[in-house]
Structure 1
Amino acid sequence: MKKRTGMFMVLLFLLLLPFSVSAADQETYSSGHFYYHAYPGYVSISGYLGTETEVEIPSSLAGKPVSEIEDHAFDGCGSVKQITIPDTVTKIGVDAFKGAEALEKIISNTKDVSIVAEEKVTIETDYAADGSDEIPSAVGVTPQSTKKEQMGVGDGGYEEDGSEENERTEERMQTEGISQTEESVQTQESIRTEESVQARESIQMEGSVPAEQGIQTEKAVQTEQDMKEQKSGNQKSEPETDHAAGWILAVISVAAVCTGGILYLRKRNIDHIE
């Protein structure tokens, strides 16, 4: 009789074991004001209950990188105005920032991660961009000065023997000075022209950035809608599967209990007859 009772207890334990394992996998941990779920190799942020206006999500918790922000993680966070996302995050759940009524800005250090928020929220990126917008500086032109020693002129005037040669030298130097001045003016005009062209190109680039951002936002919204539809279908199928499995396990448990009871009563009747 004791042997059969022990076997019955072992069977009941095996039937209830999957429920305990499932509950352990969904255990929620906390660190500071953050709540998270731990998985092999990473953790995911599941909630925040602080009152700070500027929140910086840590890059790691419990020695594991923070790789995910779960669905509705900041729902109900009425005081948060700014959220900074680390570069370790590779996935952001559906409506992760929905419900944060005071949120004004999201600073993202991640690349290739879609961030969806309300229209009033500004999304900024804080990772280093390639390229340089440096404009070359203008080269100064120093006019050449004429010294009296170069022209053969003393304190008292031109020398008598080389007066004609000195005059020709002076005229040539004046002509060269005019040419250098014209070249300097042309150089300055070319520099101003280049700066004007660069300024127009910069304005055109600035005008194209909002259009590109608008296209990216539309793509992000479409991607988010597709994810919502896919997740909605998964959520509809998962509860039905879990519900059916629960009923099956419940029926098996009841059958096991009934079998044990019948065996116990039969054994008791046999002992009584003997």
Structure 2
Amino acid sequence: MILITGATGHIGSAVIEQLLKTTDAGQVAGLVRDEAKATTLQAQGVQIRVGDYNDPATLNQAMQGVAKVLLVSGGGNDDGLQQHYNVVDAAKKAGVGCLAYTSRALKDPTSLTNQLMARHFETEDYIRASGLPYIMFRNILYMDTLPQFVGPQVFERGIQLPAGLGRVAFALRQEMGEAIANVLADSRCDNRIFTFTGAGTYSFADVAAALSELSGRPVTYTPIEQLAFEARLHAQGLPEAVIQRISGFLTDIKNGQEETVSPDLADALGRAPASLREGLKTIFKL
């Protein structure tokens, strides 16, 4: 039995979708907080287990009879790291044979501006200390997040971000989910680390050029200063914590944190991952 946490989320559902192509549905389980949101998975034969990262008792129950668990990292909650620890503890208590985790592909965790990302590596350390056999999936920034960075009026106003000429090896979330599922379907669990990235790196200038080509409308990228960017977000009424998180993401991009390129994603997919142009065409429906 393979248990996927966050089963109704973007990456969890992508993993399950691919697993069902290679694995009997009766051997796939999904951890959800709200069973009512998992009717589609149930209809496909996926076993639904109700549990909450904040409730160890429900996690302990959900882990029963499970051989392999994929811990899909939680969001930006203040207690997010403890939530990860709770899942690891429950897996160890239940005698799970393999714990996989969706971490992050960042060049130097010791010099991150966005400290929220540090919890990924703290979780990795906790998994190693647990003694459980593990698989780490270090994922690059999802290409699917680009609309959030460039804004809804990108074709009218262009892109203005404090990311300098920083480059990112963007990859599609769906392809990462597919690759994760392919690895999970393998019986091995030998403390491997996979770095899932696109085949090349792209700056926001490249994003602007690709959007221009695909849409037939001129899109420009203008690097701006961090303080000016944060002032704009303040004017939009965003909370300070959210502003600092977004700004931190972009500063890390500027500093080269997201520019790692690895062949692991292509190897796990059995094909080259989508290019920036291919991905943007799908994401923006161009």
Is TM more than 0.5 here?
no
The TM-score by the shorter chain falls in which range? under 0.3
Higher relative contact order (CA 8 A, sep 6+): 2
Bigger Rg over Cα:
1
